[in-house]
Structure 1
Amino acid sequence: MAGSPGPAPSSGQDHKPDAVAHADIVPMVWFSCGLAALAGLLFGMDIGVISGALPFIKQEFHLSTGMEGWIVSSMMVGAAVGAFFAGGISNRFGRRKAMLYSAVLFFFGALVAVVAMNTTLLVVARIMLGLAVGVASFTAPLYLSEVAPERIRGTTISFYQLMVTVGILAAFVSNLAFSYIESWRWMFGVLMIPAGMLFLGVLMVPNSPRWLAAHDRFDEARNVLNKLRGSREEIEYEIKEIQESLEQEEQSRGFDMFKENPNFRRSVLLGVSLQIVQQFTGMNAIMYFAPQIFEASGFEGTAAQLWSTVATGLVNVLATFIAIGFVDRLGRKPILYAGFSIMAISMAVLATILGIGPSTSFLQYTAMGALLVFVAGFAMSAGPLIWTLCAEIQPLRGRDFGISASTVANWVGNFAVGQFFPIMLVGIGGTMTFGILAALNLLFIVFTLLLIPETKGISLEKIEKNLMGGKALRDIGA
């Protein structure tokens, strides 16, 4: 049966020749990855803009708590739908065209938000923006994983997450600037700039060689690899690995492969679990509702709260450089252990202070410090590395389906956070809410130990061979 489990055929060459393992990284790789990572800028700005715009939208349209949550979370509904269809779009038209479609949709979603005269039209705009972000958040890490050599794959996908954090910071700074004229429409209007940048940038990058090969366009795949790899040996070795992975999987793809192959089901479920873990660290709740959290911590006034969000965004950007610098040196799991530990401790400190009551300046700034440390812990670990792992663990013929499933899970979790976090803050209070987040981050350390593989320096084809050979999930990067 196509895609049935069993030992994968061996190339007889489990270790790469030195000429392949140590080939130079050509400038075109960095250029292509940098432009594709602009999709992260869209993602980040759309996350960041709502926290500053929401107080003014609430004032203009007299929002209830339920409608406030819906305006935040409607973007996640669109993103989940976009991610669901992104696999089919990416598989049929290619990673490059999928990112172009995303940029166009994002531009017009921002435009509709600018002219929205009621909450219904604003929700429509948020859903359009979500559709664009869903496609982009699926396609960009996938493209990066397929274009970059494995020795810098973690770095390039982490660079995508860096652009997410830069986008969040840019949105926070923009929010702060436009808060002085109380213009939430201009806050949304700024989103059209990264949409145009992504569209123009993606026009200049090549298509994914692995996507071309999966569609029997090997000559084009070889031509792209000629631009992306530093030696003839590296190109031939990579083409051979891609061919073997395609032959192993025969013609099963997507959902058919999911139904037929229990090993593929394992990788899909792991990807889904990873994205749920990322959402329930609590990071996006903090990004969406940062002003309210700082208000609960004792900081009064919109300007003070927005300045605090700018500090949060700056820490988010700077800490991501830790992941970029060390993910391909230390590996994925050690950084995840550190990040989840930092987040658990920070949330516990914040919960304790809110329980006591931030009645003094010392306690207020300690609460703010705990929040910033939490953001740093996320930005150096679960932020970039979850996307990296989800792009690495899926086999080639099932990659579109597997990453689509995990990206949908990301946005469903994101929706749940956006919808229920403000209700939890009001209903059970900050102490209990942040205490729950601290406990969840402790559980995620155990999850990392038992299920997450170490994929540092391992080719996508080797990971696939281990997965299809039936190795335990935490060992498929061996």
Structure 2
Amino acid sequence: MAGHNSNAFTDQSPGSRGTSEGNEGSTLPPLTPGPHSRRLGIVAVIATFGGLLFGYDTGVINGALEPMKHDLGLTPLTEGVVTSSLLIGAAAGAMVGGRLSDAYGRRRMIIWLAVLFFFSALGCVVAPNFEVMVVARFFLGLAVGGASVTVPVFLAEISPTERRGALTGFNEVMIVFGQFAAFLVNAIIGNVLSDLEGVWRIMLSVAALPAIVLFFGMLRMPESPRWLLSKGRTEEALAVLRQVRPEARAVAEMDEVRALAKQEEQSKLGSWASLKTPWIRRIVFVGIGLAVAQQLTGINSIMYYGSQLLIEAGFEANAALIANVANGVVSVSAMLVGLKLITIIPRRKLLVGGFIGITTMHLLVGVFSLVLPEGMMRAYVILVLVVLFVACMQATLGLTVWVMLAEIFPLKIRGFAIGLSVLCMWLTNAALSLSFPSLVAGIGISSTFFVFAVLGVLSTIFIATQVPETKGRSLEKLEEDISTGAIFLPSERNSRRR
């Protein structure tokens, strides 16, 4: 999600301390090509169907909501409740998903999530009224939230250091691809079957198909070697590594995996009591601020209500479904650009530049929707500006916020701090999704985007004054600089301190 949301166990997660793409400073044998590479690729593709479902189930409401509101008699308020019920479920799912996967295994958890995805999707399809729809969407949200924390962890733990960033980043790409797929399916079904009563039920039913693939695919996938080792199942862990590594590398990597398992246990030591320490309280505040600021861009309001926004702008309903596909195409393309930008541009500069671009788009949408008369010119101008907003968001904040959440927290509070930040992200997402339809209905498009612009200015100030730079530091150096406060000093003084 852009936002999604999703967890960020990138190549900078525990266990790749001080490295990024590559195996610098390691005595492990090189990662040579072979059948294990193909096996690892298959594991990654199957697991990231969880990300695909995450994206599809959050994006499909975009086109389904307009016909659904007539069949179920939804008001702007109940439209928001239907949309946000999934996000509230996702917050709960993210809270418990990590603990369940720790107890029962990553692979088993993903299989359970596939079952929950399937039956919750069917519940949405057959929902006879608003109340049943909200309950079904809540359970679907539990699956989304569980996937947002379990799939990235599984990928990070089964990937070699050299490929960890690429494979966990692939899950983010699958999430935005799932949203694009939802927009495309909505456009096709909405136009071909526009006269069919209950066409939204067909849109929602498509989500059952990738859930089936995820379920049967994961039955043939291995468990995380780090999780197996944490349970004392050493031989099974080595057998898994032999599937996805060269033989010499698999044997040599066992010692590293043991160290990773110990570090992971350390990362669960944080709790609310940790916040009594001033420097911990400050960096957790920064993490929560990053997570909330990302959502205050309104990106998910566009992903959930884009079709309705375009109808408000002047498009016919079927044309809006087609035009909305542009958001999905641009979202996927910009996310791929973001994967490149984050390797060459300092994190904070990327965030500040992103917020400046996003806020500019918000202002322009507000101005042009106010000054242009209703008609197709106004509709197309707003479409172009919304697409530019999505592009700027996904190429900058979409991935960078998640990477920074994985980097800025010291090991002993990492699990607690990321969990708290992601919870605040989901709750902010839910609050915006609940209020967006009522906001547009009450004050109009222009005023709504002016509100987003004000929030963008405040977020830019927050990033510029409170968020430290993390690029180019090992996780050990980050932890030292955060605990001493050196990371918050101006760059010149900071460089002298180092």
TM-score, normalised relative to structure 1:
0.84
CA contact (8 A) 2:366 2:446 kept: yes
**TM superposition shift of 1:217:** 5.2
* Structure 1, 391-400 or 369-378: larger mean CA deviation: 391-400
Structure 1 counterpart of 2:305: 289
Structure 2 counterpart of 1:5: none
- Classify 1:98/1:447 alpha carbon distance in 2 versus 1 (closer, same or farther; 3 Å): farther
Structure 2 counterpart of 1:319: 334
- Classify 1:135/1:243 alpha carbon distance in 2 versus 1 (closer, same or farther; 3 Å): closer
- 2:89 is the counterpart of 1:78: yes
**TM superposition shift of 1:137:** 1.1
Distance 2:116 2:405 in 1: 25
- Classify 1:236/1:60 alpha carbon distance in 2 versus 1 (closer, same or farther; 3 Å): closer
Distance 1:38 1:266 in 2: 36
Structure 1 counterpart of 2:440: 425
Structure 2 counterpart of 1:167: 178
- Classify 1:432/1:307 alpha carbon distance in 2 versus 1 (closer, same or farther; 3 Å): same
CA contact (8 A) 2:268 2:414 kept: no
**TM superposition shift of 1:406:** 2.5
CA contact (8 A) 1:393 1:463 kept: no
Task: Find 1:54's aligned residue among 62, 65, 83.
Answer: 65
Q: Percent identity?
A: 35
Structure 1 counterpart of 2:291: 275
CA contact (8 A) 2:85 2:138 kept: yes
- Classify 1:252/1:315 alpha carbon distance in 2 versus 1 (closer, same or farther; 3 Å): closer
Task: Find 1:371's aligned residue among 386, 396, 399.
Answer: 386
Distance 2:76 2:151 in 1: 34
CA contact (8 A) 2:229 2:258 kept: no
Structure 2 counterpart of 1:413: 428
CA contact (8 A) 1:134 1:407 kept: no
CA contact (8 A) 2:18 2:473 kept: no
* Structure 1, 254-263 or 58-67: larger mean CA deviation: 254-263
Distance 1:205 1:315 in 2: 32
Unaligned runs of 5+ in 2: 1-16
- Classify 1:388/1:353 alpha carbon distance in 2 versus 1 (closer, same or farther; 3 Å): same
Structure 2 counterpart of 1:444: 459
Aligned pairs (5 A) from 1:8-407: 16-17=24-25, 23=31, 27=37, 28-149=39-160, 152-179=163-190, 180=194, 181-182=196-197, 183-215=199-231, 221=237, 224-228=240-244, 232=249, 235=253, 238-239=256-257, 241-242=259-260, 245=263, 249=266, 253-255=269-271, 258=274, 268-299=284-315, 301-330=316-345, 332-359=347-374, 361-394=376-409, 398-407=413-422
Cα deviation code 1:15-42 (max 9, x no counterpart): 9436559755872544433332222111
**TM superposition shift of 1:338:** 3.5
- Classify 1:352/1:152 alpha carbon distance in 2 versus 1 (closer, same or farther; 3 Å): farther
Distance 1:463 1:193 in 2: 46
Unaligned runs of 5+ in 1: 1-11
Partner of 1:281, secondary structure, is coil
* Structure 1, 26-35 or 341-350: larger mean CA deviation: 26-35
Distance 2:222 2:478 in 1: 24
CA contact (8 A) 1:320 1:384 kept: yes
- Classify 1:392/1:252 alpha carbon distance in 2 versus 1 (closer, same or farther; 3 Å): closer
Distance 2:222 2:281 in 1: 31
* Structure 1, 214-223 or 316-325: larger mean CA deviation: 214-223
* Structure 1, 401-410 or 284-293: larger mean CA deviation: 401-410
Structure 1 counterpart of 2:12: none
- Classify 1:377/1:156 alpha carbon distance in 2 versus 1 (closer, same or farther; 3 Å): farther
**TM superposition shift of 1:260:** 7.6
Distance 1:313 1:398 in 2: 36
**TM superposition shift of 1:78:** 1.1
**TM superposition shift of 1:93:** 1.8
* Structure 1, 37-46 or 430-439: larger mean CA deviation: 430-439
CA contact (8 A) 2:341 2:395 kept: no
- Classify 1:436/1:394 alpha carbon distance in 2 versus 1 (closer, same or farther; 3 Å): same
Partner of 2:43, secondary structure, is helix
**TM superposition shift of 1:321:** 1.3
* Structure 1, 395-404 or 61-70: larger mean CA deviation: 395-404
Partner of 2:223, secondary structure, is coil
**TM superposition shift of 1:297:** 2.0
- Classify 1:243/1:465 alpha carbon distance in 2 versus 1 (closer, same or farther; 3 Å): farther
**TM superposition shift of 1:473:** 5.9
Partner of 1:253, secondary structure, is coil
TM-score, normalised relative to structure 2:
0.81
Distance 1:152 1:252 in 2: 25
**TM superposition shift of 1:345:** 1.5
**TM superposition shift of 1:157:** 3.1
* Structure 1, 51-60 or 84-93: larger mean CA deviation: 84-93
- Classify 1:361/1:123 alpha carbon distance in 2 versus 1 (closer, same or farther; 3 Å): closer
CA contact (8 A) 1:95 1:207 kept: yes
Whichever residue aligns with residue 17 of structure 1, its letter is: G
CA contact (8 A) 1:258 1:264 kept: yes
Distance 2:119 2:479 in 1: 42
